[in-house]
Amino acid sequence: MKLVVATQNKRKLQEIVDILADLNYNVISLADFPRVPRIVENGATFQANAIKKAVTVARFCKQLTLGEDSGLCVEALGGRPGVYSARFSGKDKNDEKNNRKVLRLLADLPINKRKAYYACAVAIADKSGLLGVVEGRCSGYIGFEPKGNTGFGYDPIFVAPGYKKTFAQLGPRIKHSMSHRFRALKKARKILEKYIVQNH
């Protein structure tokens, strides 16, 4: 059975494939559907964006689809960057610029004022509509400088609880055992397993 992951982000796709590796699905991405309509991620929440991706792509592809939206929420910044995580540094955005902006905004704050969490929403839909949406979170804090060279997004500045290392220092094996994406996909797995049973 095929599962379309509604993303163009190759690193995000790889994480999802790794985490769902033991499920009986052939995972494909938007790269397999060049004519898929462009989705404007203008939802006020991660869940709204994830649902929009899943439902839009499922209707277009006529396939079971996983939509995902995730980002970093920093307490001292009132929850920003939030749904704007990927484009936080503006028009010429990239991971490095986004990280630098967060560090700049938190420059004078001590460690106890640098609390943050990663949030991830995962929506599952088929051609008939939405099947379910779930969310996962991972709390930590923002370090004082980028460290590590694995992962993507804010991983070089997000310090994981209990490790005193950033997600980018921990590497995929440890990150995938505790991340926001892992926790959301663990819940989404139940929806996917049920779908297999009902449609075979």
Q: Active-site residue numbers? A: 69
Cβ atoms within 10 Å, residue 197:
7
What is the distance between the alpha carbons of residues 180 and 178, in angstroms, rounded to a whole number? Answer: 7
Q: What 3-state DSSP class applies to 33?
A: coil
C-alpha R_g of the chain: 17
Give CA torsion, residues 89, 91, 92, 96, to 10 deg: 20
What is the distance between the alpha carbons of residues 121 and 67, in angstroms, rounded to a whole number? Answer: 8
- Token pair belonging to 62: 């006529």
What is the distance between the alpha carbons of residues 85 and 69, in angstroms, rounded to a whole number? Answer: 10
**What element of type H or E holds 124?**
strand 115-126
Cβ atoms within 10 Å, residue 95:
17
